[in-house]
Structure 1
Amino acid sequence: MTAVVAVSILLSLLLPLSLSCPKGCVCDGRTKVVDCRGRGLYDIPRHLQPDTLELHLQDNRIRGLVSMAFRDTPLLRVLDLSNNSITSVSPSTLLGLRGLQRLSLASNALRELDRRLLGPIRSLSHLDLSHNSLTGLPGAMGESLRNLSQLGLAHNRLQRLDKSLLENLEGLGHLSLKGNPWRCDCQVIGLKLWLETFLFRGGVVDEVSCSKPEEMKDKDLQNVPYQLFHSCMTTSYNYLFSNIHHLESDRSIRGHTHGNTHGNGNPHGPLGMGEGYGGGGSGLPECEPKQRPRPVNLRHAIATVIVTGVVCGIVLMMMLAAAVYGCAYAALMAKYQRELKKSEETSKGDHGSADEKEPLENAIA
């Protein structure tokens, strides 16, 4: 009877341990590491020990990550899901993993990530998203990446990166961006400026090889001189004057419409929605879209730009005038010094001649 009780107690102790390690996986009770690499798994294994610190699931066939997929392992520090077939990740997949430090989703088929995915995590130091199909990262995700030291984004479909995301990467030391089709147009200047600051702080980055436009293809953005972005300034001015033109057109059209309304007493007159859009009216053609009204704030912005330009022009003129005055004053002073020196030398010469004549005259006498 005593032997039966002892066996039952032993089985009760060993049975939970055997159930805590998924079939085919290797579990180390000392280091709290669970290794399920290359086991042909389609889902996250269940019944893991709650004190598991590392979970390796790379080289499997997992296709998606559901909500709270790791609720059984709240103490997880390292999670490797690389080289699977993951196409979708629930925004609440990592809910509960507040202490997660390393996360790898590399070599999957991800096209986008929800901004809430890393929301509860503040301790993440390594994030690998390379070899996916990501076209961008939400800027709001940067709040969870403030303590990140390594970020892998190589070999995706990135053309740009959100400025707010980059500004939050305060502790980043290593960044991988190669293998992306970067579009090196006017909107990439912010990335170029950030990269220069990042490198100045001692950061390490591989390369940002331009894909478009054609004249910048295969050039590293870090080595592209700012002169090649000169057209961006021209584009900005063209956009500004285009808006001014539209504003003037809107103003003239509204003024004309307002005058006809008061004159005819009919809001559906020649430029209204009634007769003016018929065949005999003198209004805009029916197929031509109406000008979109611009907000009042745009007018203030344009006025501010114009006033700023005028003020800058005046300041430049004053600086130029000061420079001309300084050069002229320096030239006059130099001329005055030369003439003064010349007159002093002439005066000394005259005194010398007089002294030489006196001994000669005394000798004759």
Structure 2
Amino acid sequence: LKHTHYIIVLRHMVCGCPKKCLCHSTSKTVDCRNQGLVEIPSHLPPETLILQLQNNHIWRINQDAFTETPFLKILDLSNNSVSNLSSGAFKGLHYLQVLNLTKNLIHKLENKTFSSLPQLKELDLSSNSILNLPETLGNNTGNITLLSVEYNKLQRLDRLLLESLPNLKVVLFKDNPWQCNCHVIGLKLWLESFLYRGGISDGIICSTPENRKGKDLLKVPYEMYGACPPTAAHVHLANVHHHNSEYRSSLKHTHLNENGESSHSDCEPKSKPRPVSLRHAIATVVITGVVCGIVCLMMLAAAVYGCTYAAITAKYHREHLAPTTEQRVPEGKEPFDSSLA
């Protein structure tokens, strides 16, 4: 009996519920909300599927923090004090599908942060202090369908990151200080293509430069970026028209300063040069006007010719047919006159 008692106590210690948490065996949920926690609690039940850690003071995530919960599917870390995420922060969570990191203090992400989450579908990074995002979120993040980066400090976003998420269905960009300079062309093209394929987005509102502040990126015409210096990397325009019409190809750009360093501040579009597409449009209008003028002249000539022909025909009838009629009338009257005589 003592041996059995020790086994039960040991199992409770290893697989029991943390002191400040509530464990629901039926739903396999562990509720640790509003407990003033500063780190991920230990001794979590290994069968846990949902772990609620929101509204605490957790500021770091150790690499072995979730080794006890390998089957976790939903992890909510919202409204904590997490400022940095190491590449192994979510190690072992091969079945995680939903990760909520909203309302933390995250300012930077490494490109391998989420590599250990091959089943991840929803990633919420909103309401942090993220300045920039890497080119990828990880090697195994292709299943993500929802990505939210709202309410951060993002000024730009590399198109490569979005292209690495082929199953993306919803992406949220709201309330970031987006820079709508030359480098935003790639993002604009991707967004147009994404929406055309049926994706959902709240759009990108420009913060700079001043002449585009408050404008929707999708409504800023490509002609405004005509003076941006190109690079060898071509960016193909998205097919966004209803009749599958294609835009002309555009180019990414960089600009080097005196030290040979990359700089984007000099990529501001200039209003003086007239865009090539505008010149083409003017030429098309001129050619169309000339063709229409020629057609109108031909129609006028045809009308004049028709009127002239009608006048000549009428004159012919008056001069040749009328005298003949007048001569036949007296011949018909002679027998009448002779009979009277």
Q: Same fold per TM (> 0.5)?
A: yes
Task: Report the alpha carbon displacement of residue 127 of structure 1 after superposing the two structures with TM.
Answer: 0.7
The question of 1:111 aligning with 2:115 is answered no
What residue number does 2:324 align with? Answer: 358
What residue number does 1:153 align with? Answer: 149
CA deviations on 1:137-172 (whole Å, 9 max, x unpaired) are 111227544322222211111001111112233333
Alpha carbons 1:66, 1:89 under 8 Å: kept: no
1:216 to 190, 212, 223: 212
What residue number does 1:269 align with? Answer: none
The question of 1:345 aligning with 2:310 is answered yes
1:32 to 7, 28, 46: 28
Task: Report the alpha carbon displacement of residue 346 of structure 1 after superposing the two structures with TM.
Answer: 3.3
Deviation larger for 39-48 or 95-104: 39-48
CA deviations on 1:73-120 (whole Å, 9 max, x unpaired) are 111111111111111211012222121100011111111111111113
Instruction: Report matched runs for 1:39-50 at 5 Å.
Output: 39-50=35-46
**Percent of residue pairs bearing the same amino acid type:** 35
Could you say what secondary structure the match of 2:183 adopts? helix
- Counterpart-to-counterpart distance in 2, 1:83 and 1:321: 62
What residue number does 1:226 align with? Answer: 221
Instruction: Report matched runs for 1:57-136 at 5 Å.
Output: 57-136=53-132
- Counterpart-to-counterpart distance in 2, 1:235 and 1:187: 9
Instruction: Report matched runs for 1:133-212 at 5 Å.
Output: 133-141=129-137, 144-212=140-208
- Counterpart-to-counterpart distance in 1, 2:286 and 2:202: 48
Q: For this pair of structures, how many residues does the alignment match?
A: 287
The question of 1:334 aligning with 2:302 is answered no
What residue number does 2:236 align with? Answer: none
Greater helix fraction, Structure 1 or Structure 2? 1
CA deviations on 1:270-319 (whole Å, 9 max, x unpaired) are xxxxxxxxxxxxxxxxxxx9997xxxxxxxxxxxxxxxx9xx9xx99x98
Task: Report the alpha carbon displacement of residue 46 of structure 1 after superposing the two structures with TM.
Answer: 1.8
Task: Report the alpha carbon displacement of residue 337 of structure 1 after superposing the two structures with TM.
Answer: 2.8
Alpha carbons 2:112, 2:138 under 8 Å: kept: no
Change (3 A) 1:201 1:38: same
Instruction: Report matched runs for 1:171-320 at 5 Å.
Output: 171-222=167-218, 224-226=219-221, 230=224, 232-236=225-229
What residue ranges of structure 2 are gaps of 5+ in the alignment? 232-256, 261-275, 332-341
Which has the bigger relative contact order, CA under 8 A and spacing at least 6? 2
What residue ranges of structure 1 are gaps of 5+ in the alignment? 240-288, 293-308
Alpha carbons 1:115, 1:141 under 8 Å: kept: yes
- Counterpart-to-counterpart distance in 2, 1:350 and 1:142: 92
TM-score (norm 2): 0.72
Counterpart of 1:43 in structure 2: which amino acid? Answer: E
Alpha carbons 2:38, 2:57 under 8 Å: kept: yes
Task: Report the alpha carbon displacement of residue 191 of structure 1 after superposing the two structures with TM.
Answer: 2.4
What residue number does 2:338 align with? Answer: none
Change (3 A) 1:155 1:8: same
CA deviations on 1:43-81 (whole Å, 9 max, x unpaired) are 212222222211111122211122232112111111111
Could you say what secondary structure the match of 2:226 adopts? helix
Alpha carbons 1:142, 1:168 under 8 Å: kept: no
